[in-house]
Each structure stands twice: as C-alpha cells, then as structure tokens.
Amino acid sequence: MKKLITTAAVAAFSLALASCGSAEAPPAAPEAPVAAEQTAASGTIVDAAVASPDFTTLVAAVQAAGLAETLSSAGPFTVFAPTNAAFGKLPAGTVENLTQPAQRETLSGILTYHVVSGRVSAADLISQIEAGGGTATLTTVQGGTLTARLSGSSVVLTDAAGGTSTVTATDLNQSNGVIHVIDTVLMPAQG
C-alpha cells in the first residue's frame, strides 16, 4: 500500500511538472537531455501540461490533489515532470488509488516533492552539481530533498527512497517557472 501511494504521488507530481513544459519539446535520449532554448512562455506550467498529450496522468493527479491553482500562480517554480510513461512504471492501480479523495494529502505530498521553489535552469543545476563535488541537494516544496548528480551528460535525481529518475528534456520555460521532464516518478520519505 505504501509503495502504491508513493507511486501514485510521484505520478501526480509528474503531471504537475509536465504542465510546465511545452508540448512541442521532444524528449531526448536518457544519455543527453534536450535543452529547449526558449524565453519564458506566456502560459503557465499547468497550461503547458494540459496542452501536452504526454502529461495527461500528471494533469489528472494535479487536479485530484487540488494543486492546479497553486501551480498556475506567479511562482516561480521548477518542476521535474514525469511523463505518462513514467507513471506507467508504477504498480497497477497506484495512480487510481492516489487520485481518490481520501488520498488527496498523500498525492499532494508526492506531487509537491517534484517541485522546487525558484527557476532552476539545466545550466544552474549542473553548476550546483559541479560546485557540490558531484552532487547537489534540492529542497522541494514538499519539504524533502532530492539529490542531483551527473551520469555521463544526463542529470539523474535520487529520491528519499533511493529511487532514481533521469532528466530527459530540460528548460521548458513557462511564465511562472521551468519544467524538466523526467522518466520515473520520484517518492518522498514515508512519514
């Protein structure tokens, strides 16, 4: 049950992150994240997620958690957004369970674990990793931390449970922040 909740929460966060990105930015191979060189878009993170068919699960989770308004606010936010395929890696029934009204708090915690306050570009994140001797610690809006490191030319995030996710597309700029697309849902520490 704990794994299912965690998985669902991660999926929800992924949708929130996807909202930040542009539907036109192609995902890159895990070895080399794509940097979408663009200026801040006129739409919000949520607008971007809703517009992309790759983030329908994330959007549903964000709506179920009641976070759409928050992620549409001024921010800025950095969202590590899981794709539908990332959510598909969760055990069967996890997303459905997490989007139930009784799981709203758990889902919200998972989704906000994918969000960092401020606008952190791919270059900023790589600079933090280099300055940290190979790792950078990111404090999430949920209150937990993610550890970022480089694996070849890709940024890999490690969650509180020891799970990892690779950033597959970067710098999807929106009016209220930036989206970085990830290939696996991240899970916060179990309370």
Distance from C-alpha of 138 to C-alpha of 144, rounded to nearest angstrom:
8
pLDDT computed for residue 142 by the predictor: 94
pLDDT computed for residue 42 by the predictor: 66
Q: Find out whether 19 and 79 touch, Cβ atoms under 8 Å.
A: yes
Helix, strand, coil % (nearest 5) of the chain? 40, 25, 35
pLDDT computed for residue 51 by the predictor: 87
List C-alpha distances in Å: 42 to 9, 38, 72, 162. Answer: 28, 11, 12, 36
Distance from C-alpha of 53 to C-alpha of 64, rounded to nearest angstrom:
18
- What are the extents of the domains in the chain? 2-119+168-182
Q: Helices (H), strands (E): how many in the chain?
A: 8, 8
pLDDT average per 10 residues of sequence, the chain (191 residues): 34 36 34 38 82 90 89 90 94 92 93 95 96 96 96 95 95 92 93 61
pLDDT computed for residue 185 by the predictor: 95
What is the CATH code for 2-119+168-182? 2.30.180.10
Q: In the numeric block, which tokens belong to residue 92? A: 């069967």
